[in-house]
A = this chain, B = another copy of it.
Amino acid sequence: MSDVTAPNLANLFDDLPDAPLPIYAKLKQAISLKISSGEWQTNQRIPSESEVVKALGVSRMTVNRALRELTAEGFLVRHQGLGTFVAEKKAHSALFDVHNIAEEVAARGHKHRSELLVLESAKATMEEAMTLGVRTNHGIFRSVVLHFENDLPIQIEERVVNATLAPEYDKQDFAKHTSYEYLMSAAPMTEGEHLVEAILPNAVECERLQIQASEPCLQIKRRTWAGDDIVTAARLLHPGSRFQLFGHFGR
Contact = CB atoms under 8 A, between A and B. Distances in A.
Interface of A: 69, 72, 92-96, 189-200, 214, 216-218, 225, 238, 240, 243-251
B194 A216 contact: no
Looking at A96, A225, A244, A247, which has the most chain B CB atoms within 10 Å of its CB? A247
Given A199-B216, A216-B200, A216-B216, A194 B240 contact: no
Q: State the copy count for this chain.
A: 2
A247 B191 CA distance: 11
B92 A247 contact: no
Contacts of A200: 214, 216, 240
Looking at A72, A199, A250, which has the most chain B CB atoms within 10 Å of its CB? A250
Contact of A248 (B69, B194, B217, B244): B194
Nearest to A245: B196
Nearest to A248: B193
Looking at A94, A193, A199, A244, which has the most chain B CB atoms within 10 Å of its CB? A94
A77 B223 CA distance: 26
Contact of A249 (B95, B196, B217, B243): B95
B216 A249 contact: no
B193 A246 contact: yes
B192 A249 contact: yes
B249 A197 contact: no
A198 B214 contact: no
Given A216-B216, A217-B216, A240-B216, A249 B96 contact: yes
A97 to B, nearest CB: 11
B247 A94 contact: yes
Given A93-B250, A196-B246, A218-B218, 20 more contacts: A93-B94, A93-B249, A94-B94, A95-B95, A95-B247, A190-B250, A191-B249, A192-B248, A193-B246, A194-B246, A195-B246, A196-B218, A196-B244, A196-B247, A197-B218, A197-B243, A198-B198, A198-B240, A199-B216, A200-B240
